[in-house]
Amino acid sequence: MSELTVEAVDSLETEDLPAGVDAPEYVLYGGKGGVGKTTCAAATALSSARGDTPTLVVSTDPAHSLSDTLDSEIPAEPTRIRDDVPLFAVEIDPEAAEGPFAPGGEGADGDPLDGGADGPLGGVGELLGEGGHPLGGGAMPGADEAAAMQLLIEYLDDPRFERVVVDTAPTGHTLRLLELPEVMDSMVGRLLSVRESISGMVGSLGGLFGDDDAAEADTASLEELSARIERLRAALQDPERTDFRVVMIPEEMSVTESERLVGRLEGFDIPVRTVVVNRVSEDLTAVADLDADWFVAPDTEHCEFCRRRWGVQREALSRAQELFRGREVKRVPLFAEAVQGEAMLAVVGRCLE
């Protein structure tokens, strides 16, 4: 182990570091918790920015670790974190969201449409039989995911960035997030319908129930959100614009969950063109065109433990062959040290090229 030093990794020449990536506008990394999605997202974003592409890396995982991986403080608003390359980053904070689905809302009772219990739509939520959704005041179920989706839509639309790389939450949270365009679109439609159905009544009572201008502004806001949701759905389903990359480790449970995730994504018509297999017990030179004398590979010839782990991994990889079919497979080796900071991320980026 004395051969392993961070100094050796840091000594990589700048020209040896990956610059630029062959990827569409939007790259999303998803998979089971703890498989290395954050590492892959950070490495891809850094490589993209090194190719002079203004790039935003976004974390939607409530348990953010992007700051640790990039070794830089990541705020809740998109912020440039490097002076030498156009790399921006943000860790989504649902509480920072604004709009009709934000936790806490904008009205007195957390409802931007009701404007409080005495507002123009007070009590309509109860008529819909959905206590706790935005029309009834208070946070609706899935409010955090909805708020995260609103912010994600905003970032994907931001003209400052030519590429957006998303570090998604673990599988269950990600699927709920991806279901939200349909859920929110339906809800927006219902909210607009309710607004329209009572607008005549509100108008006939001479503004007794609220400000007509405010009501029109709310309606316009909902219509704009509906259009943005549709643009997001179209972008995610377009293989020319989006690559959802499933990250797995060569273990049976990870393969099973990855297969399930790919199936669900296909149900959403979201293309999965790339599968990343992380922490493979192989030499770095076997998975990347990189001269790395510093790299310490598992000794599967003389180490019984290493040999057995490699056997387990090969079985898992064999089972995953169907998952790999028709997709590009990227392999990232198991490193002896933590993947943190620019030098190590550059090595991972080379593996993901």
DSSP state of 334: P
pTM of the entire structure?
A: 0.77
User: Which residues, 6+ apart, have CB-to-CB distance to 325 below 8 Å?
Assistant: none
Across the beta sheet with 274-280, what order do the strands follow? Answer: 79-80, 87-91, 55-59, 163-167, 26-30, 242-248, 274-280, 328-333
* Integer Cα distance of 200 and 188 in angstroms: 19
Tell me what pLDDT residue 1 has: 36
pLDDT band at 2 (very low <50, low <70, confident <90, very high): very low
Higher pLDDT, residue 306 or 145: 306
pLDDT band at 202 (very low <50, low <70, confident <90, very high): low
Q: Is the pLDDT of residue 335 over 50?
A: yes
Tell me the residue ranges of DSSP E strands in 249-337: 274-280, 328-333
Q: What is the tens place of the pLDDT at every residue in 73-113? A: 898 899 999 999 999 999 887 666 565 555 554 443 444 44
Higher pLDDT, residue 234 or 290: 234
Per the prediction, the chain carries an average pLDDT of: 76
Contact 67, 90 (CB under 8 A): no
Tell me what pLDDT residue 340 has: 85
Exposed, middle or buried by CB within 10 Å (0-12, 13-18, 19+), for 81?
buried
Higher pLDDT, residue 145 or 301: 301
Exposed, middle or buried by CB within 10 Å (0-12, 13-18, 19+), for 169?
buried
Contact 151, 164 (CB under 8 A): no
Domain ranges, ordered by start, for the chain: 1-103+139-353
Contact 345, 39 (CB under 8 A): yes
CATH architecture assigned to 1-103+139-353: 3-Layer(aba) Sandwich (3.40)
Instruction: Compute the average pLDDT of residues 22-51.
Output: 92
Identify the weakest region by mean pLDDT among 15-29, 207-221, 307-321, 326-340: 207-221
Contact 4, 36 (CB under 8 A): no
Contact 316, 251 (CB under 8 A): yes
Geometric angle at alpha carbon 72, from 28 and 175, rounded to 5°: 25
Tell me what pLDDT residue 224 has: 76
Q: Is the pLDDT of residue 116 over 90?
A: no
* Integer Cα distance of 287 and 181 in angstroms: 37
Instruction: Compute the average pLDDT of residues 199-225.
Output: 60
Orientation angle between helical segments 171-204 and 252-267, nearest 10 degrees? 30
* Integer Cα distance of 170 and 343 in angstroms: 26
Q: What is the tens place of the pLDDT at every residue in 230-242? A: 788 888 889 999 9
How many Cα atoms are found within 13 Å in the side-chain-facing hemisphere of 57?
29
